[in-house]
Amino acid sequence: MPEIIPVESLTDNYIWILCDDSREGVWVVDPGDNNPVEAWLEENNRQVEGILLTHHHWDHVDGVAALCGPNTPVIGPAGNRFKGTTRVVDEGDQVSLPWCDLQVLSVPGHTLNHIAFYAAGGFETPVLLCGDTLFSAGCGRLFEGTPAQMLDSLQKLNRLPGDTAVYCTHEYTLANLAFARAVEPENQAVLAYLEQCQELRLRDKPTLPSNLRLERNINPFLRSGEPGVQESCSRQFTQPVTTNQQCFALTRQWKDNFKAPDQ
């Protein structure tokens, strides 16, 4: 069975390596730093077969050139912000890997050209490689897109099956859960997951992947239609909150300026 291996990078990034014991070649997702990937390749006697990119930010692409041979495919989104892609893909395109077919989803918000890769089969569960769009208990900052674009992108991802494993690219889960607890202090799913993730981090284990069924219960950015989240935003900003889009925009604004009480 194919595996998806986390390689820790920079301060809090994960570079995901898609591999199978039957093949020497691996596919690398969002390599912002080549050094930890090269160390993993050497230790495991593997080589890079191809690279997948979700967006152009430096902490997702700076290791690409060093990992590429002369014919290494680098598959990424449209736009000219990163010059190293050999194949540009967009909504509805398909990328065929040795173990699965990846469906390309356009998910603007964090960046205008952000994409995600979704595999319905080939792994134990469906797989979502979503870069910085959806985090566990959070979502990416809006550096280029609008709240409406990001909400549409998250709703698109949220329509995938509940058992879809969510492979985002940052270990932000504890900070995100601190915010989720502030938004919904009585949400027992948030409190239970916070305890679970604290235990994982104490053992230096990743909190990822998450899955969409869990995220629907704990992620305030997927819960902008919930009365409790809307009421919390209304109290925070002392104004009526009447639509999902308004709630999402205010929740994102709240998170941008949030500092947990124990920080």
Report the C-alpha gap between 123 and 262 in whole angstroms: 39
Does 77 fall in a domain? yes
Does 156 fall in a domain? yes
**Predicted confidence band at 263 (pLDDT cuts at 50, 70, 90)?**
very low
Name the domain count of the chain: 1
Catalytic hit among 30, 33, 56, 110: 110
59 and 32 in contact (C-beta within 8 Å)?
Answer: yes
CATH number at residue 104: 3.60.15.10
Tell me: the pLDDT tens digits for 199-251? 999 999 999 999 999 999 999 999 999 999 999 999 999 999 999 999 999 99
Helix (H, G, I), strand (E, B) or coil at 20: coil
Tell me: the pLDDT tens digits for 136-151? 999 999 999 999 999 9
Q: Which of 86, 59, 62 is nearest to 74 (CA)?
A: 86
Does 116 fall in a domain? yes
pTM, rounded to two decimals: 0.96
Residue 57 in this model has a pLDDT that exceeds 50:
yes
Report the C-alpha gap between 115 and 75 in whole angstroms: 11
- 236: Cα within 13 Å, side-chain hemisphere: 21
Does 171 fall in a domain? yes
Is 114 part of the annotated catalytic residue set?
no
Query: What DSSP letter does each residue of 25-37 carry, written as one string?
Result: EEEEE--S-HHHH
Q: Which of 192, 153, 198 is nearest to 175 (CA)?
A: 198
Is 60 part of the annotated catalytic residue set?
yes
Domain that holds residue 178: 3-256
Is 56 part of the annotated catalytic residue set?
no
Tell me: the pLDDT tens digits for 97-106? 999 999 999 9
Q: Exposed (0-12), middle (13-18) or buried (19+): which is 123, by Cβ within 10 Å?
A: middle
Residue 79 in this model has a pLDDT that exceeds 80:
no
Q: What is the pLDDT of residue 53?
A: 97
Catalytic hit among 30, 56, 60, 114: 60
